[in-house]
A and B are shown apart, each in its own frame.
Chain A
Amino acid sequence: KNQVEQSPQSLIILEGKNCTLQCNYTVSPFSNLRWYKQDTGRGPVSLTIMTFSENTKSNGRYTATLDADTKQSSLHITASQLSDSASYICVVSGWMDSSYKLIFGSGTRLLVRP
């Protein structure tokens, strides 16, 4: 079954600290992996997108890594800010049953405290 599992479910860190969020997937065949940030009450916004040939991609203080062999990805946030408080969603896409599908993880809720 094609699934995307994220951990931890929730995380609290102090402002200025770093953190890493995990995403494991069983989607096959794999096309690309995306990380989205979703502020409370808003739609998801794309942070990074990686194809199977990419190992790492950065967007400011956000760095995503991908290991297509072990089907794992991580999102590393450096020097966290209060505005990083949000849910972070991992999305894996691929062609399944002759159609292109996006499989969403349930997200990691991050709270950054002063």
Chain B
Amino acid sequence: EAQVTQNPRYLITVTGKKLTVTCSQNMNHEYMSWYRQDPGLGLRQIYYSMNVEVTDKGDVPEGYKVSRKEKRNFPLILESPSPNQTSLYFCASSPQQSSYEQYFGPGTRLTVT
């Protein structure tokens, strides 16, 4: 089944404790992206990747890092999480950046205390 998977689905952590949210897609898509979703706001892009070893900042990249060593994986790293990073995070992929169809993962709900 074609899908985007994220792990973990739920995470509660403390300020400053490094964490990684994994994202994997099995559709051989070149383009992958991370978004955060907060109440009353639309999804906002954190980082995106056009292909392996090519990453770039989105609209809200501060406090996040990403890597794209393999085509299928695009982990999101929070080196020193803070409470303002409490949010719902989505990974998405598409064949190319401007492709019409974008597939979203199930989401990761992160709480930083």
A interface with B by C-beta (< 8 Å): 4, 31-32, 34, 41-46, 49, 89, 93, 99-107
Choose among B40, B97, B100, B102 the residue that contacts A106 (Cβ–Cβ < 8 A). B40
Which residues of chain B are near A32, meaning CB under 8 Å?
100
The reply to whether A104 and B42 form a contact with Cβ atoms under 8 Å apart is: yes
Choose among A49, A100, A103 the residue that contacts B97 (Cβ–Cβ < 8 A). A100
* Cβ of B2 under 8 Å from chain A: no
Choose among A41, A44, A49, A106 the residue that contacts B104 (Cβ–Cβ < 8 A). A44
**Chain B, residue nearest A42 (CB):** B106
The reply to whether B42 and A46 form a contact with Cβ atoms under 8 Å apart is: no
User: A111 CA to B92 CA in the complex, in Å?
Assistant: 26
The reply to whether A4 and B42 form a contact with Cβ atoms under 8 Å apart is: yes
Choose among B42, B44, B100, B107 the residue that contacts A89 (Cβ–Cβ < 8 A). B42
B interface with A by C-beta (< 8 Å): 4, 35, 40-45, 56, 90, 92, 97-98, 100-102, 104-107
Which residues of chain A are near B56, meaning CB under 8 Å?
99
Which residues of chain B are near A107, meaning CB under 8 Å?
42
Choose among B4, B43, B102, B105 the residue that contacts A46 (Cβ–Cβ < 8 A). B102
User: A25 CA to B30 CA in the complex, in Å?
Assistant: 28
The reply to whether B104 and A43 form a contact with Cβ atoms under 8 Å apart is: yes
| Most A CB within 10 A of own CB, among B56, B92, B100, B106 | B100
Which residues of chain B are near A41, meaning CB under 8 Å?
106-107
CB B3 to nearest CB in A, in angstroms, measures 10
A4-B42, A104-B44 given. 15 additional CB < 8 A pairs?
Answer: A31-B98, A32-B100, A43-B4, A43-B90, A43-B105, A43-B107, A44-B90, A44-B104, A45-B104, A46-B101, A49-B100, A89-B42, A102-B102, A103-B42, A106-B42
